[in-house]
Amino acid sequence: MQKRKLGKNGLEVSALGLGCMGLSHAYGPPVEKQAGISLIRSAFERGVTFFDTAEVYGPFTNEELVGEALAPFRDQVVIATKFGFDIDPETGQRGGGLNSKPEHIKAVAEASLKRLKTDRIDLFYQHRVDPNVPIEDVAGAVRDLIREGKVRHFGLSEPGAKTIRRAHAVQPVTAVQSEYSLLWRGPETEILPTCEELGIGFVPWSPLGAGFLTGAMTETTRFDSSDFRASVPRFAPDALKANLVLVDLVRGWARRKGATPAQIALAWLLAQKPWIAPIPGTTKLRRLDENLGALAIELTPGDLREMDSALSKITVQGARLPEEILVLSGR
């Protein structure tokens, strides 16, 4: 397995990680527990050492699943989890939105440690920037946890460039996590240059565009109400139909490389920067193996220039997330 380093403090991860959210949350009913454990362990057996979860996935159940699955080889893996939502610790009910008050961050860390069956969190992200708490206070709280040995590295999810700089000045940021893919290239404007300047790793979530870039969707695809994609504007019928032109392009590149569309999408991300480590998620072993196959695909500078030129002619239709989530993301 190829390895990559995130940040300047020695956090080494597999070039492709595993996003574990979909095993418990957002894409319909959760998978059966033993099936989830089996998939996570199969990823480890194939060389994956970077696993991403969050307290809000479930809530809580995804951390419990990841903790149990990885317990036998805890010291050989990197576990990333997240804080920042207002969740009742007893009932798991979401409260009034965001909460990154320092005392809340520390309480979440303690609870996450128990669910993950571990004595330290390798990478602790603020899940969404809280406009009511100065980012300096957030970074200070995580710095305290690092000094106590409960957290190893500090991360930010979906921040703006100014927020990254302010946080980094208090506690060095090891990784920034934001949506990034052939379908959504927003981080290229400010976020990736900021990360490069400051020496921060970048972790693309939804690197396959919530399944869109696998080529599995057609203009007639519709999602169950339990699937968050049912409320995503870019997957509404008219937008989905218009956006399939992008998938046609990716299919063409895939044929030329003897690859699948998903493999091309992941190979493209891996080729952008050596400090980018995508975290595709799946519930299926065959898809896990397909995704890992992206590591064997080489895109030449000429390939990348051609792809960039073709992509520049396409305007993706529909917002990337529902309005209420975009507000939380500060976008």
Local structure of 86: helix, strand or coil: strand
Give the Cα separation of 200 and 107 in Å (integer).
26
Banded model confidence at residue 111, pLDDT cuts 50, 70, 90: very high
**Tens digit of pLDDT for each residue in 141-190?**
999 999 999 999 999 999 999 999 999 999 999 999 999 999 999 999 99
Banded model confidence at residue 328, pLDDT cuts 50, 70, 90: low
Please give the sequence-ordered ranges of beta strands (E in DSSP) within 131-221, or none if there are none. Answer: 151-157, 173-179, 201-205
Residue 235 phi/psi, 5° resolution?
-105, 5
- Report whether CATH 3.20.20.100 matches the domain 3-328: yes
Contacts of 191 (CB under 8 A, 6+ apart): 159, 160, 161, 164, 176, 178, 202
As annotated, the active-site residues are 57
Contact 299, 271 (CB under 8 A): yes
Count other Cβ atoms within 10 Å, centred on residue 234.
Answer: 20
Contact 213, 247 (CB under 8 A): yes
Does 326 score more than 80 pLDDT? Answer: no
Contacts of 118 (CB under 8 A, 6+ apart): 67, 74, 79
The predicted structure's pLDDT at residue 294: 98
Local structure of 231: helix, strand or coil: helix
User: Shortest CA distance to 253 belongs to which of 207, 288, 304?
Assistant: 304
For the ranges 90-94, 136-140, 198-202, the lowest mean pLDDT is seen at 90-94
Q: What is the percent of the chain with per-residue pLDDT over 70, rounded to a whole number?
A: 98
Across 242-273, b (16+ Cβ under 10 Å) vs e yields bbbebbebbeebbeeeebbbbbbbbbbbbbbe
Does 330 score more than 60 pLDDT? Answer: no
Banded model confidence at residue 39, pLDDT cuts 50, 70, 90: very high
Query: Rounded to the nearest 10 degrees, what angle do helices 237-257 and 261-272 cross at?
Result: 80
Banded model confidence at residue 329, pLDDT cuts 50, 70, 90: low
Residue ranges covered by each domain of the chain: 3-328
